[in-house]
A and B are shown apart, each in its own frame.
Chain A
Amino acid sequence: MMVDAPEPMSPTWSLHPSGDRSLVILCTHEDPKVANGWCRALARALADDLPAGIDGVVPAMVSVALHYAPDRVLDAAPEPLRDGSSPYAILAEQVWARMAAFDLDRVPAGREITIPVCYGGDYGPDLQEVADISGLTPQEVIALHTAAPVDVLAVGFAPGHPYVGYFDARLSPGRRSSPRSDVPAGTIGLANRQSVIYPTRLPGGWNLIGRTPLVLFDPYRAEPSLLVAGDRVRFVAIDPAAFETLAAGQEGRP
């Protein structure tokens, strides 16, 4: 007997104040991974059609925050909205109107960016341990990590620091019980089907499986952050010789 596949549950959106200068658009869905996808699409759509007075659109895992100046929202509001409403209420109404008009299914996909990674050894001292925890060989961990493009879920914690996912369910080690105080720039962390890439020397509690020679963040570049939420990332394994060659090519940059 044929059974129709269940319709994917549509997300539920809600708006919330977060202090007097931020409005948070929350996406609720039984699967946070799905909610994250909707948030990335919404953030891209909003960035192209912002109400006045907004200083930033900041997507997170299942939400999109709009940072705004209350006086500028008020001043730019169309007359009928201004009758004693708070700037938050005015902005909420403008956001709802836009969201009703967006077709988030049709928001174009983000860029696809290739990230070369030298896995294991000094570059990724936890690769063997991750393999052991996951019941895989190090080669199988690398194969799963490079198998398919993954999404940049959010950028945060430090300038240019991305969260990417979701990897195969077998790549689900927890975070380390004691974080390292000093993780080298470019290091790829793995935990719970996600990776982070440390853009600069930082403390970190993720399992370190490799390192990229690419510069993730440079405030003097035209595009300071290599990755933004909504991009797709394809990890590609390289050997230490290729790493050193590529790293040398990155030196001398401002």
Chain B
Amino acid sequence: MSGPLSIEVVKPGLLSTFQDLGRRGQQHLGVPLNGVMDERAHRTANWLVGNAPGAATLEMTLLGPNLRFGAPVRIALSGADLSATLNGQPVPLNEAVQAAAGDVLAFGAPKRGIRAYLAVEGGYALEPVMGSMSTNVRAGFGGLGGKPLRKDVSIPLSPAPGRTLPVRGALPAFAADIMREPDAPLRVMAGREHDMFTQESLRAFGAEAYQITPQSDRMGYRLKGPPLERRRTTEMLSEAVTAGTVQVPPDGQPIVLMADCQTSGGYPRIAHVAWVDLPRLAQCAPGARLRFEWIDLAEAQRLAVSQARVFGAMENGTA
């Protein structure tokens, strides 16, 4: 039995937005990149249902939505364990699962991580805006009407390509130095204004714990810990920033910029979080205590290339 090719939002959850790999190439217009916070989980979910890595997934935060499927569709969940159930039965993470028309996908208490990704075979039928389906909530465009999921809206789906899904055995094999333990230190490299900070501040940032404050969201994580002081206060002109940039406003408490960050910033940057560690940071909730570990640029790029090789193998069907 088959109804409309869509998903009904019974309950929207805390913050559920459609995201893809971001609105690339638009930052010179002041347009944020947006896109998924946990790229590994997003790509894994798409891979499990045979979608291209650039297809949008639904990023669900802490408390997931209740969704009713209008037609049978293959789905996959990846990222955080938010206690997903399909008609009351637990849904495994990182496996393609068949949902029938009328089935309800629901979520319970967050058990591990805070951001889960839902991919549907064939993808969501959303209109790209400036080259991306990512939701820019602040500016109100992209995704589904530029907004997080709301109750009673209907999410249109694209027809599945109608081929047999490849059997996905083992998950993509990221090297151990990429998929580190959730509480391992986050690797950072020297920031553009690294030299402006006192030796004691540089030491503290690489050694002490910094707690994620409640004033943290997709734009940035505000941290609280030993204040970071500058040796001198030179006036700065604003410069391009990206997700992972750690900037330090005058109060000395660092902010890690995340996917929705502005395109430029004027605060001194003590560090940049390695790209491969952003997914791990994205799964940390307010209250979590973070530690940082200095690495050099060459090591960060070696890790980034190693991760990209696994992504490439997934895309080519060799993973």
Which of chain B's residues have a CB closer than 8 A to the CB of A200? 139
Write the nearest CB–CB distance from A1 to chain B, whole angstroms. Answer: 39
Chain B stretch 134-150: residues in CB contact (< 8 A) with chain A? 136, 139, 141-142
B240 touches A22 (CB 8 A): yes
What residues of A have a CB within 8 angstroms of the CB of B241 in the complex? 18
Do B189 and A19 have beta carbons less than 8 Å apart?
yes
CA distance A160 to B269 in the complex (A): 25
Q: B28 touching A228 by the CB < 8 A rule?
A: yes
Q: Is the CB of A145 closer than 8 A to any CB of chain B?
A: no
Contact of B27 among A24, A58, A161 (CB under 8 A): A58
The yes or no answer to A88 lying at the interface (CB within 8 A) is yes
In the complex the two chains form, is B301's CB within 8 Å of A20's CB? yes
CB of B98 within 8 Å of the partner chain: no
Which of chain B's residues 302-319 have a Cβ closer than 8 Å to chain A?
A: 302, 304-305, 308-309, 312
Chain A residues near B28 (CB, 8 Å)? 43, 56-59, 155, 228-229
Known contacts A60-B264, A159-B29; is-contact A88 B308 (Cβ 8 Å): no
State whether the Cβ of B173 lies closer than 8 Å to any Cβ in chain A.
no
Contact of B31 among A24, A65, A67, A224 (CB under 8 A): A224
A94 within 8 A of B: no
Least Cβ–Cβ distance between B278 and chain A, in angstroms: 10
B264-287 Cβ-contact flags toward A at 8 Å (1 or 0): 100001001111000000000000
Q: Kindly identify which residue among B136, B263, B300, B305 contacts A74, using a CB–CB cutoff of 8 Å.
A: B305
**Is there a chain A Cβ closer than 8 Å to B169's Cβ?**
no
B288 interfacial by beta-carbon distance below 8 Å:
no
Chain A residues near B141 (CB-CB < 8 A): 219-220
A244 at interface by CB-CB < 8 Å: no
Most buried by A among B129, B241, B305: B305
**Shortest Cβ distance from A71 into B: residue:** B308
- Tell whether, in the assembled complex, residue A56 and residue B301 are in contact, meaning their CB atoms are under 8 Å apart: no
Cβ contact within 8 Å between B237 and A62 = yes
Residues of A151-181 whose CB lies within 8 A of B:
154-161
Q: How far apart sit A137 and B252, CA to CA, in the bound complex (Å)?
A: 42
Min CB–CB distance A52 → chain B (angstroms)? 14
Bound together, the chains give a CA A228 to CA B29 distance in angstroms of: 7
Residue of A nearest to B265 (CB): A156
Contact across chains for B297 and A86 when beta carbons are under 8 A apart: yes
Kindly state whether residue A93 has any CB partner on chain B within 8 Å.
Answer: no
User: B263: which of A21, A24, A58, A86 is its contact (CB, 8 Å)?
Assistant: A58
Contact with A along B12-31 (1 / 0, CB 8 A): 00000000000011111111
**In chain B, residues 223-250, which have Cβ atoms closer than 8 Å to a Cβ of chain A?**
237-242, 244-245
- CB-based contact B297/A225 at 8 Å: no
Q: Which residues on the B side are within 8 Å of A228 (C-beta)? A: 28-29
With contact pairs A24-B192, A58-B240, A88-B301 given, residues A18 and B269 touching in the complex (Cβ less than 8 Å) = yes
Contact of A19 among B31, B129, B130, B245 (CB under 8 A): B245
Residues of A within 8 A of B29 (CB): 155, 159-160, 217, 224-225, 228
Q: In whole Å, how far is A204's beta carbon from the nearest beta carbon of chain B? A: 14
Residue ID in chain A nearest B308 by CB atoms: A71
List of B residues within 8 angstroms of A229 by Cβ = 28
CB of A20 within 8 A of CB of B239, answer: no
Nearest neighbor of B31 in chain A, beta-carbon distance: A159
Q: Which of B30, B32, B240, B297 meets A24, CB within 8 Å?
A: B240
Q: In the bound complex, do residue B304 and residue A71 qualify as a contact, i.e. CB atoms below 8 Å apart?
A: yes
Partner of A20, one of B129, B130, B240, B300: B300
Which B residues are in CB contact (< 8 Å) with A111?
none
A87 engages B264 (CB within 8 Å): no
Residues B39-65 near A (CB distance < 8 A): none
Q: B275 contacts A20, CB within 8 Å?
A: yes
CA distance in complex: A99, B246 (Å): 29
CB of A127, distance to nearest CB on chain B (Å): 26
- Interface status of A11 (Cβ within 8 A of chain B): no
A78 at the interface (CB under 8 A from B): no
Residue contact B304 to A219, C-beta cutoff 8 Å = no
Interface residues of B (CB under 8 A from A): 24-32, 129-130, 136, 139, 141-142, 189, 191-192, 237-242, 244-245, 262-264, 269, 272-275, 297-298, 300-302, 304-305, 308-309, 312
6 contacts between A and B (CB under 8 A): A18-B192, A19-B300, A63-B240, A88-B301, A159-B136, A220-B141
A-B residue pairs, 10 tightest by C-beta:
A65-B240, A19-B272, A71-B308, A20-B300, A156-B264, A225-B29, A61-B237, A58-B240, A219-B141, A55-B24
